[in-house]
């Protein structure tokens, strides 16, 4: 058990990568707050964790709302006594060029993917610092390192995630807080199907294309989860400001 006595927040915890990671953190001994816009789905994940004999609560929240973030941190501290680990993972994508995208959609993507991380850090860093440190992991993307087609706001937002991770690591390292990004390639979750729908493509063909990389398959959520568990644990105690790529090779 690598995370015994630790308390963790996982945003987007009802989705593919978030659910797998919430379960993996709990299985290593962490008490987990499963945070998602979809409160019912978050509760189902928390129940699944509790049924397996581990500790979890569900919190419905919009991560782009400061009031909601303040409530998430306060609820987690009240339930578990502190916060050692945060996985800022909630994210959305719009498959649009600059010409197709509206200004409101740009703001929406940046609200969920970028503003959320700033807000979470603003409110959780004091809690972690008072306890002597912690580990924050932000979900970037291969497209945040390299770029990609017809996803302007997403690529810009994930590039911001990668670099704000470095800035946060510099600012809060002296307080014992490590901040890293995990950067997946294509992972088998609802997001990929949503992308196929947005592009008007067949979901099966879209998923088959995602296997076009050296390991000849897309990733599974648990393979991102195991990287996050490592970044959350003391096994990565000298790693901060890094952009860990988990993509089967070939994207970044
Ligand atoms: P997903 O769509 O399965 O999960 C995303 C979760 O975030 C959903 O449960 C959704 O309800 C939640 N969410 C959306 N807006 C929210 C908000 N405003 N407040 C709180 N929760 C909100 O997608 P997946 O694949 O698990 O994505 C997780 C992260 O991984 C995202 O940041 C995504 O950009 C990133 N990623 C995913 C890749 C993939 O191929 N699936 C590749 C690279 C990065």
* ipTM score assigned to the predicted complex: 0.99
Distance 174 CA to ligand 1 centre (A): 30
* Residues constituting the chain: 252
- Split at pLDDT 50, 70, 90, the class of 250 is confident
Nearest CA to ligand 1 atom 9: 15
Return the number of other C-beta atoms located less than 10 Å from residue 122's C-beta.
13
20 lines ligand 1 (CB under 6 A): no
182 lines ligand 1 (CB under 6 A): no
Which strands, in side-by-side order, build the sheet including 243-246? Answer: 56-60, 31-36, 7-11, 85-88, 134-139, 177-184, 243-246
| Whether residue 238 lies in the annotated active site | no
Q: Looking at residues 99-104, what average pLDDT do you find?
A: 98
Nearest CA to ligand 1 atom 17: 62
Contact yes or no for 180/168 (Cβ under 8 A): no
17 lines ligand 1 (CB under 6 A): yes
Active site residue: 54, 80, 143, 154, which one?
Answer: 154
pLDDT value at residue 252: 46
What does DSSP say about strands 243-246 and 134-139: parallel, antiparallel, or unpaired? unpaired
- The candidate with the shortest Cα–Cα distance to 37, out of 66, 57, 58, 55, is 58
Measure the N-to-C terminal CA separation of the chain; round to a whole number of Å.
32
Integer Cα distance of 31 and 28 in angstroms: 9
Task: Decide: residue 208, CB within 10 A, 0-12 exposed, 13-18 middle, 19+ buried.
Answer: exposed
- Split at pLDDT 50, 70, 90, the class of 251 is low
């Amino acid at each position: 058990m690598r995370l015994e006595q630790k308390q963790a927040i996982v945003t987007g915890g009802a989705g593919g990568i978030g659910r797998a990671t919430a379960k993996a953190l709990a299985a290593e001994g962490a008490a987990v707050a499963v945070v998602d816009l979809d409160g019912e789905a978050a509760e189902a994940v928390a129940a699944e964790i509790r049924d397996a004999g581990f500790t979890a609560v569900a919190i419905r929240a919009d991560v782009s709302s400061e009031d909601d973030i303040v409530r998430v941190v306060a609820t987690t501290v009240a339930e578990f006594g502190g916060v050692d680990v945060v996985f800022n993972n909630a994210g959305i994508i719009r498959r649009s060029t600059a010409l197709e995208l509206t200004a409101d959609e740009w703001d929406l993507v940046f609200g969920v993917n970028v503003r959320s991380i700033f807000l979470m850090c603003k409110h959780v860093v004091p809690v972690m610092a008072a306890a002597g440190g912690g580990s924050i992991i932000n979900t970037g993307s291969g497209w945040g390192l390299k770029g990609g087609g017809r996803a302007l706001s997403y690529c810009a937002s994930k590039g911001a995630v990668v670099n704000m991770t470095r800035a946060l690591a510099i600012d809060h390292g002296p307080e014992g807080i490590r901040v890293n990004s995990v950067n997946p390639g294509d992972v088998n979750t609802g997001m990929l199907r949503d992308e196929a729908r947005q592009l008007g493509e067949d979901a099966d063909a879209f998923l088959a294309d995602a296997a076009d990389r050296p390991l000849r398959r897309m990733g599974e959520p648990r393979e991102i989860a195991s990287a996050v568990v490592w970044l959350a644990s003391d096994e990565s105690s000298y790693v901060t400001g890094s952009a860990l790529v988990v993509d089967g090779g070939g994207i970044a």
